[in-house]
Amino acid sequence: MNRILVTGGAGFLGSHLCERLLARGDDVLCVDNFFTGDKRNVTHLLQHPHFELMRHDVTFPLYVEVERIFNLACPASPIHYQHDPVQTTKTSVHGAINMLGLAKRVKARILQASTSEVYGDPEVHPQPESYWGRVNPIGMRSCYDEGKRCAETLFFDYHRQHRLEIKVVRIFNTYGPRMHPNDGRVVSNFIVQALRGHDITIYGDGSQTRSFCYVDDLIEAMLRMMDTPADFPGPINIGNPGEFTMLELAEKVLHLTNSRSKLVFQPLPADDPKQRQPDISLAKERIDWEPKVALGDGLTETITYFRKLLAE
């Protein structure tokens, strides 16, 4: 049994990760400050003998004894991370420093949940890990993009300077049950609007593309990456290379929800990427992973979740 710390453990991804770790027999310490995390995401785990929940903000040091750390703490949707951009940067940077310091003290292996946002609005398509990105350092999204880029820098400097065992995964668009209904992400936006019978808001002309990975596939990749040999720190892309336009996604959601909502178009937000698609060649090679869940199947599960949530 491994003693594992999951920061941001009550969030969308963190709660699914905690579940998987418990299911395989690990002892899990879930840490969250509940800014975007929700206790309801982990309520069903509270009675588990190997699960512990702690309210804590990673911008402050944490003194615990663990063997592995998954650092997922950070608001990940534009609505939430732009609400308090200074705190968002602090969470990425100070949070990384504090978790790396903890990992160094207890000699733990640590995984950083980085993001495809490190590539910015890319000039290379699809994006391989070797691409350095095209990011606006002073834009509205910079608190998240540059915060995550700085966190990666810190991880690799701790790896080189202190020989810390690190793993870095770059997460592309992920969706599934337990997404926040008001997080402003395109999948949750479209589903909630369709279920409520509201107009579906499409920014730009709807031709911009994204790749959507179901949460179960993503968690499987994170677990596999954590278990790779120490000499492979990453970074590694995790995402679904299947590419869809916003119009295609909206039409799929309308079909699956049987909604009569209409499509309305709004101006594209600043620095919003036109394309985003992972090159997952490295993931296939090093962790023998590629996504299995088709978009239609994943959307059906997600719609079922939101239908129940809205009914409550």
Cite the active site residues. Answer: 144
The residue with tokens 């730009």 is: 204
Q: Helix (H, G, I), strand (E, B), or coil: what is residue 75?
A: coil
Question: Residue 85 has which token pair?
Answer: 């951009």
Q: Which residues, at least 6 apart from 188, have a Cβ–Cβ distance to it below 8 Å? A: 175, 179, 180, 181, 182, 302, 306
**Quick one: DSSP state of residue 231?**
T
Question: Residue 201 has which token pair?
Answer: 């808001």
The residue with tokens 């995964």 is: 169
Question: Residue 307 has which token pair?
Answer: 């239908």
CB 40 within 8 A of CB 64: no
Question: Residue 163 has which token pair?
Answer: 């020989």
Helix-, strand-, coil-residue percentages of the chain, each rounded to 5: 40, 20, 40
CB 297 within 8 A of CB 177: no
Q: How many CA atoms lie within 13 A of 158 on its CB side?
A: 28
Q: Which residues, at least 6 apart from 206, have a Cβ–Cβ distance to it below 8 Å? A: 245, 246, 247, 250, 263, 265
Q: What is the dihedral of CA 132, 135, 137, 139, to 10 degrees?
A: -170
**How many angstroms separate the CA atoms of 293 and 280, rounded?**
15
CB 254 within 8 A of CB 261: yes
